[in-house]
Amino acid sequence: MKSGIIILLLAALGGCVNLGGEQRPSTTYLLTDAHIATPNAHPQAHTLMVAPMRSSSFDDNDALVFANTANTRGRYQLARWSQRPSSRLGELLFNRLIASQIYTSIAHTDSDIVADRLLTTELLSLYHDASTQPGQVKISVRATLYDNQQHSLLARKTFEQTVPVATFNAAGAASAFNIASTQLIDDMLTWLTPAAVSSSSVPAHSH
């Protein structure tokens, strides 16, 4: 009996069960950045080229992803993203970089602009840890900054955010993902300041 209750709860979390027999519609969620950027009065005298965020993770999914136990993944059946997380998160990061004006010029890698800095990012994880109720969301992104003129690696860092979920469902997870995304982008922009880059620079033998 106990195992049956657990299975029902997990199925409901994944959107596989319509309690009461009512047909439930699918919901599409938009990942957002709640931060209102203030333009930097003294931008760094560099042109930053921003590569599209890449990912080979299962978490980079059209559906919201959850984990009931360690090293497992499942997909919400009735909850989807408007864009793949890597695409949307990369878009939010680029928009924040533009609005914050921490560099003199910022462009995509498909631009004809000659840049002396290159930022690449990789989405490592983005999921609802549902091992406890209501759980928490976790996001992890690795960022690498290059000096294009010297063809060298300047700095690399993995950013992680964990945010509690208010309600044990997709809507609660989506809201927490928005908070986590905002905080993660906050940390990334702080890291891109000269002092922070110097503190996380890669040793010469690691180039």
CATH number of the domain residue 141 falls in: 3.40.50.10610
Task: Tell whether the torsion through CA atoms of 189, 156, 175 and 64 is positive or negative.
Answer: positive
Residue length, the chain?
A: 207
pTM for the predicted model, two decimal places: 0.83
* Residue 142, CA distances (Å) to 30, 152, 159 in order: 22, 17, 6
Residue 38 pLDDT: 85
pLDDT digits (tens, 9 = 90+) for 16-40: 433 233 457 899 999 999 998 888 8
- The stretches in the chain having pLDDT less than 70 are 1-23, 195-207
Residue 196 pLDDT: 55
CA distance 34 to 54: 23
- Which range marks the domain in which residue 28 is found? 2-206
Domains contained in the chain, number: 1
Residue 191 pLDDT: 96
Residue 36 pLDDT: 87
Q: How many CA atoms lie within 13 A of 104 on its CB side?
A: 9
Q: Which of 167, 195, 192 is nearest to 12 (CA)?
A: 167
Residue 110: both structure tokens together: 């498909």
Q: Residue 71 gets which letter from DSSP?
A: T
